[in-house]
Chain A
């Protein structure tokens, strides 16, 4: 079992719809959770982080964390073609310097 699992996609959604990206993790000691966006050929860009169970909203993005079920998700409302990218989920265990990344989900927003 991979430490951080994501569906590779592609996930296709029409413009204006809600895109839902999911990530599961295996380490119950995980404390910090991050979502990065990576455009093709570019480096990852941090867009959200969450530490507590529940939802965290930032503009059109909402991160949801459920530690009991060991999953974290990212919702993108009013999806735009510019949101088309690969979204990487990353997880960190408290006190550890290393962050474990998933392989990413490719999102395609269709105009």
Chain B
């Protein structure tokens, strides 16, 4: 079964803790993306990566970090520096050849209290 997996589906953390969200894909896609979605605000790009060991900041990268050590994996760390981390986090991927259509994983809902 090809697709994008994100785990866990729900995550609860105390303020001040770093937390890492998992994203794995077996679609052989080159590019991977992390978005954040808040109510009424649509999707905002956090980081993206086109190839292994390379990634670029999106529009709201402050307080987040990523790594891309394998083509299949693009984990996102929400650090304690992120002021409002509670949100729905979406990972997406796409092949580099194509028309930029992105495919999304099921998402992780992070709640920080």
Contacts and interface: CB of A to CB of B under 8 A. Distances in A.
A98 B92 CA distance: 12
Interface residues of B, number: 21
Interface residues of A, number: 21
B66 interface: no
Contact of A88 (B43, B101, B105, B107): B43
Interface in B90-105: 90, 99-105
Interface stretch (A39-47, A58-66, A74-82): A39-47
Contact of B107 (A42, A92, A103): A42
B63 interface: no
Contacts of B56: 97
B42 A104 contact: yes
Contact of B100 (A44, A45, A88, A99): A99
Contacts of B31: 97
B42 A101 contact: yes
B48 A44 contact: no
Interface of B: 31, 35, 40-43, 45, 48, 50, 56, 58, 90, 99-107
**Sorted from nearest, which 5 A-B pairs have the closest CB atoms?**
A103-B42, A43-B104, A101-B43, A92-B100, A43-B107
14 contacts: A8-B40, A42-B106, A43-B105, A44-B43, A51-B99, A88-B42, A90-B102, A97-B31, A98-B45, A98-B48, A99-B100, A101-B42, A103-B40, A103-B41
Given A43-B105, A46-B103, A88-B42, 17 more contacts: A32-B101, A34-B100, A36-B104, A42-B107, A43-B104, A44-B90, A44-B104, A46-B102, A49-B99, A49-B101, A90-B102, A97-B31, A97-B50, A98-B45, A99-B102, A102-B42, A103-B40
Interface of A: 8, 32, 34, 36, 42-46, 49, 51, 88, 90, 92, 97-99, 101-104
